[in-house]
Amino acid sequence: MFEDTFAKQGVTYPQGFTAAGVKAGIKKSGNLDVAVIYTEKEAHIAGTFTTNAVAAAPVYASKRVVATGTAHAIAANAGCANACTGEQGDKDAAAMQEITAKALGCQPDDVIVASTGVIGVTLPMDKMEKGIKQAVAELSPTGSENAGNAIITTDTYSKCCATEVVIGGKNVRFGAIAKGSGMIQPNMATMLCFITTDAAISSKLLQKALSEVVETSFNMISVDGDMSTNDMVVVLANGAAGNEEITAEGADYEAFKSTLDDICKGLAQRIAADGEGATKFLTVHVTGAKSFADAKQAGMSVAKSPLVKTAFFGEDPNWGRVICAVGYSGVPMIPEKTVVKFGGIPVYAYGVGADVDMEALAKVMAQHDIVIDVELNEGDAEATVWTCDFSYEYVKINGEYHT
């Protein structure tokens, strides 16, 4: 990932954005749990949302905001997902919008709302109202770190980044905060990502760029279709950088999209690496597939396999589990044409185990970051999927995360 020197400035790095995170008493731990992000200058917006048929109330509310094309704010909380909460949930999501809008002096449909935490519990709206009002009062250009910490749940740290690129002769800034840790399939721990930029870009192209980069970033970690009830990625572009608004594809659009792609890939990788209980960060790189879809499917099959993941936790170079997961992935493959490498070392080649320098392989397996290459030799397409290992700690976190 790019050097994010200004990472901690996060969503407030672009011009015109402020943020805050406060303790509203929604998380049992008493940690920061309500975040507000604000731009006085109206922002063009884009969003991608969970495809789960059981989607949370804030997902529906925020989809309606994204459909309007513009917004001024994001209000989010952790500790309660406001999912499976029926009509009360819809009322509470609408109330979050109203409370935030009133405090900021904008309209309810200018406010994107997001929640993450336990499913099936209604929001404590008294605490929420107090928290939102306090967050709005504390909005500041240095508030991104608190906002980031207010949206995490089982994450071990808040993911954030900030970067700059020249578009149309102007310095354009991007910032983001993201959370998500239960990224082990099938995922239900919400992934949230809020991205701000001072670029001027039309809502239509902003949505196009976001939809495209999400395909090769957040949708390539082992969460994919198995999204939670609450997942969302939202971008706010307020145009404060003063570049000529991007309204058509071309060099400016490509520069914008490329930066957005870097940000999303970087954050997606960090989310996978910070998976619940993770001790390893695994990159599954599938090449020689007949299509990107095939390459992704084979990679996901490996990345989602508990047996592969537990083997890497145990630092066991058990390539049989990898080739087996490729074999049952449903992707056309011929064992006699396939090669598997761990950290660049061939472990399986053309139908049989490869002669391996076990000492060198043991060094690969001991590393934190490990690349698994799968070469199908069937075509020219490739895909990269990111995941983590599967440890005792995962079982502990999820066996003890009581409702």
Binding footprint of its own copies on the chain (CB under 8 A): 51-55, 81, 83-86, 88, 118-121, 182, 184-188, 225-229, 301, 304-307, 310-311, 313-314, 316-321, 323-328, 330, 332-335, 348, 351-353, 390-392, 394-396, 398-403
Q: Is the Cβ of residue 30 or residue 86 nearer to its own copies in the bound state?
A: 86
Which is nearest to 372 in space by CA: 283, 281, 307, 296?
Answer: 283
Supply the minimum distance, in Å, between the C-beta of residue 219 and its own copies: 13
Sequence-distant (6+) residues with CB within 8 A of 59 are 49, 50, 229, 230, 231, 232
Q: Is the Cβ of residue 40 or residue 84 nearer to its own copies in the bound state?
A: 84
Supply the minimum distance, in Å, between the C-beta of residue 94 and its own copies: 17
Which is nearest to 288 in space by CA: 334, 325, 321?
Answer: 334
* Strand, helix or coil for residue 171: strand
Residue 124 CA to residue 126 CA, distance in Å, equals: 6
Supply the minimum distance, in Å, between the C-beta of residue 167 and its own copies: 37
Supply the minimum distance, in Å, between the C-beta of residue 50 and its own copies: 8
Q: Is the Cβ of residue 377 or residue 398 nearer to its own copies in the bound state?
A: 398
Residues forming beta bridges with residue 370, ordered by sequence position: 282
Q: Is the Cβ of residue 161 or residue 385 nearer to its own copies in the bound state?
A: 385
Instruction: Count CB neighbours of 356 within 10 A.
Output: 16
Q: Is the Cβ of residue 134 or residue 354 nearer to its own copies in the bound state?
A: 354
Which is nearest to 275 in space by CA: 372, 166, 162, 185?
Answer: 185
Active-site residue list: 190
Token output for 361: 């392989």
Which is nearest to 175 in space by CA: 196, 150, 199?
Answer: 196
Check: CB of residue 23 under 8 Å from CB of residue 135.
Answer: no
Supply the minimum distance, in Å, between the C-beta of residue 103 and its own copies: 29
